[in-house]
């Protein structure tokens, strides 16, 4: 009786799933299939097993267009102690994978995959990996190596609707959210138009099972000034329900139907609880147990008493009177501290404990600037920090460590107009981020900012011409991430379409929204537009 000799090969360290076939050595060999790497153990004398374990949820190792990708390989040996050669076949001319030799008694190696920039994005099948002993040319096993080719950071994701998804509506998209399953919700409206909700599948196709052929039209109209700060936004609660904000709040079920359990019909008009009917909800966030926080602003000449306030609603759409009890809303600005031009309210972020962070503009005496307000979980008087230098804070995010990221616009077209600052939980500047309080960015208006990739900071914004998007990534200390684009910066030219915003998603991809036009100089809209960028 001979001693069993076998190998187990894992391609992609720490990954899930396994594919492969086990081929036995010797006269008593028999063939079997490995369904999972944990089950690929020798069943008898002379067994040899090679399983290719791959690196993403659908069983594919990710490689990048125009780059060389390193894929780690580990071997688990029993008896097969000699040099092992891994060779690859079935790759197209645009993909090169060199053979790898794992020396005797060693258990780790690296596979290098070179993908041409011209190779299409998406799944790549047909590649196989063969493991054999270097001496005697004994083949141990052959297994498929499924790959997925993605674009470089900032490149347009052509696996999402072919790269540019034109909606079915005339109105522009103004905000978009990626769901956990990869589907995308996009909302939008033009001036004095009803707000729409559109759902796309993970591949960018319209989800015909959502609402009416993929599109829900709300009874909420967008009547606010057409600035980045007050365009319709959306939030998704734990039950998958969609809440949109504009001249009113509307809640829809995950299937795209008006939610009759919300305020008796799915809609909440502005001005509830002592507000004014001319107000607008300019941002919205979903809280625990179906609660909703909404930033409400009344700034038009028709407002008797201009105000900015943060309201909380119960899961059934009524004002939560335990919030800033007994009112249900916390006043943030009133009267003379508001600007008369509709540029007061900006962004809202919500922490897990219910603490809300609001950024807005404020007038104090003869100076104007941005303010960050920290509202406690039950709406008590907020702490705040002001930056009286005539600059609008247009993006905010909470960090995993409890800090606050803010991004602002200096209001000077053509200059370095995007700036980022990290604040501690007490709203003081975090000295570990940047050599000064504000870190300079590109000549763009920030749409979103987020901590990504082990503490790095990504900020996305739209240039003043509204045809270009800026992506910038900074190291945790505020220095430019030189491995990202050109010295930490990527500019994406969209040509004719007009861009409303660029929104960073939980997976660090960026959803860019806006509308198409007949030509770059035309003011006429043609159709809504959404594009996904790789990160």
Q: Is there a domain that residue 302 lies in? A: yes
pLDDT tens digits along 509-532: 999 999 998 776 776 778 899 999
Q: Report the chain's mean pLDDT, rounded to a whole number.
A: 82
Residue 502 belongs to a domain: no
Check whether 41 has a pLDDT greater than 80: no
pLDDT of residue 394: 87
- pLDDT above 70 for 246: yes
Q: What pLDDT is recorded for position 201?
A: 96
Tell me which of 100, 122, 150 is where a domain ends.
150
Residue 190 lies in a domain: no
Whether residue 272 is found in the same domain as residue 127:
no
Q: Assign 328 a pLDDT band (cuts: 50, 70, 90).
A: very high
- Same domain? For 139 and 228 the reply is no
Pairing assessment for the beta strands 68-78 and 32-33 based on DSSP bridges: unpaired
Q: Is residue 282 part of a domain?
A: yes
More confident residue, 230 or 472: 472
Chain-centroid distance of CA 97 in Å reads: 31
> Do 235 and 381 belong to one domain?
yes
- Same domain, residue pair 382 and 252: yes
Is the CB of residue 128 less than 8 Å from the CB of residue 90?
Answer: yes
353-365 pLDDT per residue, tens: 999 999 987 776 6
Checking if the pLDDT of 34 tops 60, the result is no
For residues 261, 263, 265, 269, the Cα torsion angle rounded to the nearest 10 degrees is -150
Q: Is the pLDDT of residue 38 over 70?
A: no
Instruction: Compute the radius of gyration of the chain from its Cα atoms.
Output: 27
Is 487 inside a domain boundary?
no
Please answer whether residues 252 and 268 qualify as being in contact, where contact means their C-beta atoms are separated by less than 8 angstroms. Answer: no
| pLDDT score, position 287 | 93
| pLDDT value of position 237 | 95
Decide if 383 is inside a domain.
Answer: yes
Please tell me the least confidently modeled range out of 47-61, 247-261, 315-329, 388-402.
Answer: 47-61
| Same domain assignment for residues 130 and 273 | no
DSSP letter for each residue of 405-440 = EEEEE-S-TTS--EEEEEE-TTS-B-TTSSSSSSEE
**Distance between CA 249 and CA 270 in Å, rounded?**
8
As beta bridge partners, residue 510 has: 504, 533
**Which residue bears the tokens 């941002």?**
283
Per-residue pLDDT, 285 = 97
User: Are residues 273 and 141 part of one domain?
Assistant: no
Same domain for 244 and 328: yes
- Among 104, 124, 150, identify where a domain stops: 150
Higher-pLDDT residue of 436, 132: 132
- The confidence score (pLDDT) of residue 22 equals 28
A 10 A CB-CB count for 145 gives 27
Q: Which residues contact 226 (CB under 8 A, 6 or more apart)?
A: 190, 191
Task: Confirm whether 290 is domain-assigned.
Answer: yes
| Residue after which a domain boundary falls, among 372, 389, 406 | 389
Cα–Cα distance for residue pair 334/297, rounded to 1 Å: 10
For the chain, the maximum distance between any two Cα atoms, rounded to a whole number of angstroms, is 96
The pLDDT of residue 334 is 78
pLDDT at 55: 31
User: Looking at residue 31, what is its pLDDT?
Assistant: 31
**Span of 53-67, 152-166, 173-187 with lowest mean pLDDT:** 53-67
- Can you give the pLDDT at residue 52? 34
CA distances in angstroms from 396 to 122, 370, 375, listed in the order given: 33, 12, 14
pLDDT score recorded for residue 191: 73
pLDDT at 508 over 90: yes
Q: What is the pLDDT of residues 261-296, one digit of tens each?
A: 999 889 988 888 888 888 889 899 999 889 999 999
Which of 271, 331, 272, 281 has its CA nearest to residue 302? 271
145 and 228 in a single domain? The answer is no
Q: Are residues 369 and 233 in the same domain?
A: yes
Q: Does residue 493 lie within any of the structural domains? A: no
Tell whether 17 and 142 lie within a shared domain: yes
Average pLDDT over residues 450-456: 91
- Do 11 and 61 meet the contact criterion of CB atoms below 8 Å apart? yes
Nearest Cα residue to 379 out of 315, 321, 317: 321
What pLDDT, on the 0 to 100 scale, is given for residue 338? Answer: 60
- The β-bridge partners of 405 are 397, 422
Query: Between 157 and 401, whose confidence is greater?
Result: 157
pLDDT beyond 90 at 220: no
| % of the chain at pLDDT higher than 70 | 81
Tokens of 265: 């019909």
Average pLDDT over residues 131-149: 82
Q: Is the pLDDT of residue 242 over 70?
A: yes
Q: Report, as an integer, the average pLDDT of 384-404.
A: 86
Distance CA 420, CA 406 (A): 6
pLDDT at residue 251 in the model: 96
Pick the residue with more confidence: 309 or 46? 309
d(CA 352, CA 341): 33
Q: The domain spanning residue 33 has which CATH number?
A: 2.60.40.10
Q: How confident is the model at residue 25 (pLDDT cuts 50, 70, 90)?
A: very low
**Claim to verify: residue 234 and residue 357 sit in the same structural domain:** yes
CA nearest to 173, candidates 524, 457, 405, 501: 501
Look at residue 317 in the predicted model and tell me its pLDDT. Answer: 94
Can you give the pLDDT at residue 40? 36
Q: How many CB atoms lie within 10 A of CB 44?
A: 12
Would you state the structure tokens that stand for residue 285, as one six-digit string?
A: 């966030």
The shares of helix, strand and coil residues in the chain, as percent rounded to the nearest 5, are: 0, 45, 50
Predicted local confidence at residue 32, as pLDDT: 31
Split into its structural domains, the chain has a count of 2
Domain around 98: 6-150
Do 45 and 143 share a structural domain?
yes
């Amino acid at each position: 009786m001979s001693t069993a000799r076998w190998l187990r090969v894992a391609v992609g360290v720490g990954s899930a799933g396994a594919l492969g076939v086990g081929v036995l050595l010797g006269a008593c060999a028999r063939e079997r299939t490995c369904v999972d790497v944990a089950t690929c153990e020798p069943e008898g004398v002379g067994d040899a097993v090679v399983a290719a374990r791959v690196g993403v949820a659908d069983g594919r190792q990710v490689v990048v267009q125009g780059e060389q990708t390193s894929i780690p390989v580990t071997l688990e040996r029993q008896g097969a102690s000699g040099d092992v050669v891994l060779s690859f076949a079935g790759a197209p001319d645009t993909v090169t994978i060199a053979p790898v030799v794992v020396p005797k008694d060693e258990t780790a190696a690296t596979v290098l995959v070179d993908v041409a920039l011209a190779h299409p994005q998406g799944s790549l099948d047909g590649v196989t990996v063969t493991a054999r002993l270097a001496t005697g040319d004994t083949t141990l096993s052959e297994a498929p190596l499924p790959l997925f080719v993605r674009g470089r950071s900032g490149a347009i994701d052509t696996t999402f609707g072919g790269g540019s998804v034109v909606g079915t509506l005339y109105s522009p998209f103004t905000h978009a959210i990626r769901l956990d399953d990869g589907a995308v919700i996009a909302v939008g409206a033009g001036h004095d138009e009803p707000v729409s909700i559109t759902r796309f599948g993970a591949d960018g196709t319209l989800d015909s099972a959502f609402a009416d052929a993929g599109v829900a039209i709300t009874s909420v109209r967008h009547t606010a000034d057409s600035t980045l700060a007050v365009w319709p936004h959306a939030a998704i609660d734990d039950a998958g329900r969609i809440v949109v904000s504009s001249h009113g709040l509307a809640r829809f079920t995950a299937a795209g139907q008006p939610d009759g359990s919300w305020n008796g019909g799915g809609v909440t008009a502005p001005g509830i609880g002592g507000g004014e009917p001319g107000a607008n909800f300019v941002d919205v966030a979903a809280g625990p147990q179906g609660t909703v926080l909404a930033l409400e602003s009344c700034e038009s000449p028709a407002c008797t008493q201009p105000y900015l306030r943060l309201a909380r609603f119960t899961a059934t759409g009524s004002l939560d009177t335990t919030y800033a009890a007994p009112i249900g809303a916390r006043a943030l600005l009133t009267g003379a501290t508001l600007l008369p031009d509709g540029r007061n309210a900006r962004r809202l972020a919500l922490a897990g404990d219910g603490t809300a962070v609001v950024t807005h503009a404020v007038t104090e005496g003869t100076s104007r600037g941005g303010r960050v307000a920290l509202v406690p979980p039950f709406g008590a008087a907020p702490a705040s920090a002001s930056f009286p230098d005539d600059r609008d804070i247009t993006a905010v995010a909470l960090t995993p460590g409890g800090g606050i990221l803010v991004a602002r616009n200096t209001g000077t077209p053509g200059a370095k107009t995007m700036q980022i600052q990290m604040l501690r939980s007490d709203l003081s500047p975090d000295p570990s981020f940047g050599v000064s309080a504000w870190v300079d960015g590109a000549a763009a208006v920030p749409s979103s900012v987020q901590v990504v990739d082990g503490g790095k900071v990504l900020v996305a914004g739209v240039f003043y011409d509204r045809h270009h998007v800026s992506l910038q990534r900074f190291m945790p200390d505020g220095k430019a991430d030189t491995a990202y684009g050109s010295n930490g910066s990527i500019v994406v030219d969209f040509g004719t379409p007009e861009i409303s915003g660029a929104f960073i998603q939980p997976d660090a991809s960026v959803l860019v929204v806006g509308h198409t036009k007949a030509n770059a100089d035309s003011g006429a809209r043609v159709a809504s537009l959404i594009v996904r960028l790789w990160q």
